[in-house]
Amino acid sequence: MEHATEQRGDERSSGRAKLEWVHDRMPLLARLRDRYRAEKPFSGQRLSMSLHLEAKTAALAELLADGGAVVSITSSNPLSAQDDVAAALSERGVEVHARRGLDDVEFDRLQHRVLDIEPTLILDDGGELLSRLVTSRKSLAGGVRGGAEETTTGVTRIRALARDGRLPFAMIAVNDAAMKHLFDNRYGTGQSTWEGIMRACNTTVAGAQVVVAGYGYCGRGVAERARGLGAQVIVTEVDAVRANEAVMDGNRVMPMRDAVRTADFVVTTTGCRDVVRAEHLRLMKDGVVLANAGHFNVEVDVAWLEAQAVRRRPGRTPDVVGYTLADGRTRWVVAEGRLVNLAAGDGHPVEIMDMTFALQALSLEGLAKAVRPPGLYPVDGDIDRWVAQARLEAIGVAIDHLNRAQMRYLNSWDIA
C-alpha cells in the first residue's frame, strides 16, 4: 500500500517535470494563456477531449481549463496515454480518464466517460468522440455547438458523415490548416516516427532499406527523415501524382509486393487498411521491422502474424515483439502496429505541437463565441496567419512586407 502511494507520488512528480518542460517550449500557448486567464472565453463551456494524452496535450487541456472551460479528457489511442502526465494533469483542475495499455472495451468505456459531462464543445483526434455522438450517444449531440478535429483520418470521417447528411454540428478541420499539416504531419510525423522506432529497436537506419507506404504529408516526412538518416528509401503509392512526387524527391517507387522482399524497415502512413497483408508478410526477410504511423492499427495485418507465428519472441523493450513464421524468419512489430510515434514515443516535438494546439485553441474559441450551422469548416485564415506570425516571432525571424505598388501589381489584371 505504502509502495503504491510512493509510486503514485513518483509518477506525479515525473508528470509535473514533463509539464514544466513543455510549458517552457510552447510560447504560442503561453501567449494564449495570458489572454485566456484574463478573458475566460470558454466560461460556461464543457469540453470533452479525446487526444493522445502526453505532456503537450496536457498543456493544451490546462490552457482551455484556464480559459474557463470544464474539461474532461481521455486518450485517443489505447497505448498513447502517459500515466505520469495523466496523474499530474488531474491535479490541475482537469477531469482525466486515461491510462496506458487499455483493451478495446476499456478504451471505449473511457471515450464514453468524457462524454458524460454532456459537452458543448469537443476536441477529437481520429473522430473517436464524434463517431460515438452520432451513434451510441446521439442524445448528447444536440447540446454540442461544435468541435475541432486534429487528424487527416478524422477529417476524412467527418467529410463522409457530412456527405451522408449526418454531421450534427460544426466541426473544424484543424488538420487541413496550412500551419498544421505542413509542419505537424510532415516534420512532426517524420521525426517522431523514427524516434519511436529507434527507441524500441536501437538498430541502425543508415544504409538500411526502408519502405514507406503512402506519400501524403506524413509519408513524405517519414521518407525525408529516413533519407536524412542515410537509408535507401522505397515508396509505395496508389496515387500516380504522389508517386511522381516521390520519384522526383529521390525515392524509388514500386508495388508493395516487390518492395518488401529486401526491406529492413516497413513503415505504413496511408490512413487506409490492409496495406501490409499476408502476401507481403510471407515474403519478408529475417529481422525486418514493421511499424505503423497511420492513425489506426489496421494497416499491418498483425492478427495474421499472431495466428501464423510458430514462436512469439519478446523484443528488447515491451514495445517490440517478434513473430517467427514456419520459414524460420522473424518479423518484428513495433507497438502492436499501433501509431508508433505515440505508442513507442512521446509524439511530435514540442514546438510543432505548440503550433498545432494554438490552432486548436483558437478554433475552439471561435466556436465558443459564435454558433455555426452543422458542417465541416476550414480553420479561419486569420488564425492560420496568427500562428505563422507568432511562431516567427518566437524564433526571432523577421520577413519582408509588400509596399503599395507591389500590392497594386499583385491585385491587378493589367500587369503592363
**In this chain, which of 132, 331, 348, 391 binds ligand ADE, going by CB under 6 A?**
348
186 versus 331: smaller Cβ distance to ligand ADE: 186
In the sheet with 95-96, reading across from the earlier edge strand, the strands are: 95-96, 70-74, 46-50, 121-124, 146-149, 170-173, 375-378
**In this chain, which of 62, 128, 150, 301 binds ligand ADE, going by CB under 6 A?**
150
Cell of 357: 494546439
**Residue 125 in the binding site for ligand ADE (CB under 6 A):** yes
Q: How far apart are CA 231 and CA 77, in angstroms?
A: 29
Amino acid occupying residue 129: L
**In this chain, which of 67, 337, 347, 366 binds ligand ADE, going by CB under 6 A?**
347
322 versus 345: smaller Cβ distance to ligand ADE: 345
**In this chain, which of 52, 145, 157, 220 binds ligand ADE, going by CB under 6 A?**
52
**Residue 23 in the binding site for ligand ADE (CB under 6 A):** no
> Using CB under 6 A, which of the segments 53-61, 168-176, 233-241, 277-285 binds ligand ADE?
53-61
- State the helix-helix crossing angle for 381-394 and 27-39, rounded to 10 degrees: 120
**In this chain, which of 22, 29, 32, 51 binds ligand ADE, going by CB under 6 A?**
51
Q: How far apart are CA 80 and CA 29, in angstroms?
A: 22
Q: Helices (DSSP H) in 134-260: which residue ranges?
A: 138-141, 152-163, 178-180, 189-201, 217-228, 240-248, 256-259
CA-closest candidate to residue 85, choices 21, 27, 149: 21
**Residue 345 in the binding site for ligand ADE (CB under 6 A):** no
- Residues constituting the chain: 416
**Residue 319 in the binding site for ligand ADE (CB under 6 A):** no
Q: Per-residue DSSP letters for 313-382?
A: EE-SSTTEEEEE-TTS-EEEEEGGGSBHHHHSS--S-HHHHHHHHHHHHHHHHHHHHS---SEEEEPPHH
Shortest Å, Cβ 246 to ligand ADE: 23
> Using CB under 6 A, which of the segments 49-57, 63-71, 286-294, 313-321 binds ligand ADE?
49-57
> Using CB under 6 A, which of the segments 50-58, 212-220, 264-272, 402-410 binds ligand ADE?
50-58
151 versus 330: smaller Cβ distance to ligand ADE: 151
> Using CB under 6 A, which of the segments 94-102, 106-114, 161-169, 339-347 binds ligand ADE?
339-347
Q: How far apart are CA 119 and CA 71, in angstroms?
A: 9
Shortest Å, Cβ 15 to ligand ADE: 15
**Grid cell 507497438 — which residue?**
335
**Residue 57 in the binding site for ligand ADE (CB under 6 A):** yes
**Residue 128 in the binding site for ligand ADE (CB under 6 A):** no
Cell of 171: 466541426
Q: How far apart are CA 231 and CA 192, in angstroms?
A: 16
CA angle, residues 123, 334, 282, in degrees to nearest 5: 120
Structure letter (DSSP) for residue 285 = P
Phi-psi region of 227 (alpha: psi -120 to 50; beta: other; left: phi over 0): alpha
**Residue 16 in the binding site for ligand ADE (CB under 6 A):** no
**Residue 181 in the binding site for ligand ADE (CB under 6 A):** no
> Using CB under 6 A, which of the segments 98-106, 214-222, 300-308, 340-348 binds ligand ADE?
340-348
HSE of 101, CA atoms in CB hemisphere, 13 A: 3
Shortest Å, Cβ 124 to ligand ADE: 11
- State the helix-helix crossing angle for 217-228 and 189-201, rounded to 10 degrees: 60
Shortest Å, Cβ 192 to ligand ADE: 6
**In this chain, which of 88, 353, 362, 367 binds ligand ADE, going by CB under 6 A?**
353
**Grid cell 503550433 — which residue?**
355
**Residue 73 in the binding site for ligand ADE (CB under 6 A):** no
281 versus 342: smaller Cβ distance to ligand ADE: 342
> Using CB under 6 A, which of the segments 172-180, 341-349, 380-388, 393-401 binds ligand ADE?
341-349
CA angle, residues 127, 130, 133, in degrees to nearest 5: 150
**Residue 222 in the binding site for ligand ADE (CB under 6 A):** no
Nearest residue relative to ligand ADE (C-beta): 347
Contacts with ligand ADE, residue ranges (CB under 6 A)? 51-52, 54, 56-57, 125, 150, 188, 192, 341-342, 347-348, 353
